Amino acid sequence: MPWSLFDHKTVVTALGIVWLGAAAEANAYTIYVSNEKDNTVSVIDSDKLAVIATWKVGRRPRGITLSLDGKWLYVCASDDNRVDVVDTSTGKVVRNLRSGPDPELFILHPKGNPLYIANEDDNMVTVVDVETNKLLAEVPVGVEPEGMGISPDGAILVNTSETTNMAHFIDTTSHKIIGNVLVDSRPRVAEFSPDGKRLWVSSEVGGTVSVIDPAIHKVIKKIEFRIPGITKETIQPVGVRLTKDGKKAFVALGPANRVAVVNAETMEVEKYLLVGQRVWQLAMTPDERLLISTNGVSSDVSIIDVQAAKVLKSVKVGGYPWGVVVGPK
């Protein structure tokens, strides 16, 4: 496919979503959803908003991302202790990457290589070359590493550790930890703003999103969520996505079954959208028209109109959808 890295802006977010809009002839994309409980990936057409294929992958697929050209789908097969590489033209697993034990979530370098993998069971971040399948480094981090974010220039990798409750800042050249920021309980996702000046970290059990200044490693704002009729305990932020203009943010709130729409500049919550049950991860289409949320307990994804901030449709997928990534058609 004739994607060039240079004729459009490439932004890689915490789940490794690749924005590939500019060169495409139509605004139709393919949405890939990893189904944790039944070891498959559901493939959804963004025009039809329907599942067009279901692919078999390794056991307990969670983190999911795409190569920059959209040809290869990378899936964390957590219980097989490897990363599956799926050919998106055939839907077949063509090879595996070394990943270290229990890979949960990963992020691709903005240039497309290497892949940074959080090993949940092993308190490590593994760095693997996706071409040669060589391990480049292992970085010891806190207990149960999960969230992975990378700065737009690729210089700083951030890993969150769920039980240590920290965001670890890792220099991607030296693979050294250069800073640790304490956040609220069970940090799940780390997401840089497109300008790289803010880092958003969601705390699932703490119920907050910490906005961090990555230059000084300090929390500058804690966003809290209040929903009438919903107890504080059920508000569990996980997935975070920001629009390219840095104006809007979306936060998935787990068993509160809602996605919060946040003004990313004032960091105030504007609205809550009712989605399926136990919403975890989010992804936007490259044109930022649609936002997709994975709803684990109801085994579906909600399709949200970003501009109107409205839920358009639910699409049934496999068992316990976990991660989501959008690529070209």
Partner 1 sequence: MVPLRSLHWLRARQGVLMLGALAAFLAFMSLAQAQAPPPIDIRIALITRQPPPPPLYEFDPVPEDEGIAGARLAVRDNNTTGQFTGHRYALEEETVEEGQDAVAAARSLVGRGVGFLAVNLPADELLAIADALKGENVVLFNVSATDDRLRGADCRPNIFHMAPSRAMLTDALAQFLAFKRWRRLFLVVGPQPGDKLYAEAVRRSARKFGLSIAAEKPWEFGPLARAKADSPTTAGALTITQNLDYDIAIVADEAGDFGDYLTFRTWDPRLVVGTQGLVATTWHPTFEVWGAAQAQTHFRRTANRPMRPLDYQVWMAVRTVGEAVTQTKATDPGTVRQFLRGAEFGLPAYKGSSLSFRPWDQQLRQPLLVVQPRFLVSVAPEQGYLHQRTPLDTLGFDQPETACKLQ
For partner 1, the binding residues (CB under 8 A) are 98, 100-102, 120-124, 134-140, 142-144, 161-166, 168, 174-177, 180, 182, 184-186, 205-207, 231-234, 236, 255
User: Shortest Cβ distance from residue 323 to partner 1 (Å)?
Assistant: 16
Cα distance between residue 42 and residue 71, in whole Å? 16
User: Shortest Cβ distance from residue 149 to partner 1 (Å)?
Assistant: 18
Sheet bearing 321-328, strands edge to edge: 50-56, 40-45, 29-35, 321-328
User: Shortest Cβ distance from residue 285 to partner 1 (Å)?
Assistant: 30
Measured from the CB atom, the residue of 176 and 329 that comes closer to partner 1 is 176
Which residues, 6+ apart, have CB-to-CB distance to 132 below 8 Å? none
Q: Report residue 46 as tokens.
A: 């963004």
Beta bridge partners, 103, equal 119
Measured from the CB atom, the residue of 23 and 182 that comes closer to partner 1 is 182
Measured from the CB atom, the residue of 58 and 207 that comes closer to partner 1 is 207
User: Shortest Cβ distance from residue 100 to partner 1 (Å)?
Assistant: 8
User: Shortest Cβ distance from residue 3 to partner 1 (Å)?
Assistant: 31
Measured from the CB atom, the residue of 121 and 213 that comes closer to partner 1 is 121
133 neighbors 127 (Cβ within 8 angstroms): no
Residue 205 backbone zone (phi > 0: left; psi -120 to 50: alpha; other: beta): alpha
Cis peptide before 255 (omega within 30 of 0): no
Measured from the CB atom, the residue of 11 and 205 that comes closer to partner 1 is 205
Cα distance between residue 139 and residue 149, in whole Å? 15
Q: Spell out the alpha helix ranges (H) of 99-198.
A: none
